[in-house]
Structure 1
Amino acid sequence: MPEPENESAREHDQGHDLGLAQESAADRRRRRAQFLRELNEAKELRDRVQPRRAKVARMRQAMRMRTFRW
């Protein structure tokens, strides 16, 4: 990225970066929520498409939960 030519342009870029940092926290949470929704949707689709594998996974999870010590 080219260097800003004068001091005011440099300050503008730094201010713009700060604005992006403040904005990006909300954007990051929104993107993360969207990603998690899509991930859960993909898992549900996989479970519907491969019921035998889903059943085995449920059984393994149940076994892990039964053998887990608090």
Structure 2
Amino acid sequence: MTLKNQVLRCPTCRTLVTAGDENFPFCSDRCRAVDLGKWASGVYRISSPVLDPEVLEGAEAASADAVRRQREEDET
């Protein structure tokens, strides 16, 4: 089954929705707006950090090292 033919439920009203539909994963603009309103009003929220700060610092350092190495290679 391809993603376009996959059938899931609208997260707002639980109506069946085909993945290829215009409003996917919602069944309508109304359900999309209701969901956005819940995020905006704080009903939905991410309760903890997405990444551990130590992991984030390590990723930033690794990225900076990769950029530095690439610049050094470009200069030679």
TM-score range, shorter chain: 0.3 to 0.5
The structure whose residues are more often helix, as a share, is 1
The structure whose residues are more often strand, as a share, is 2
Structure having the higher Rg:
1
TM-score by length of 1: 0.41
TM-score by length of 2: 0.38
Greater relative contact order (Cα < 8 A, sep 6+)? 2
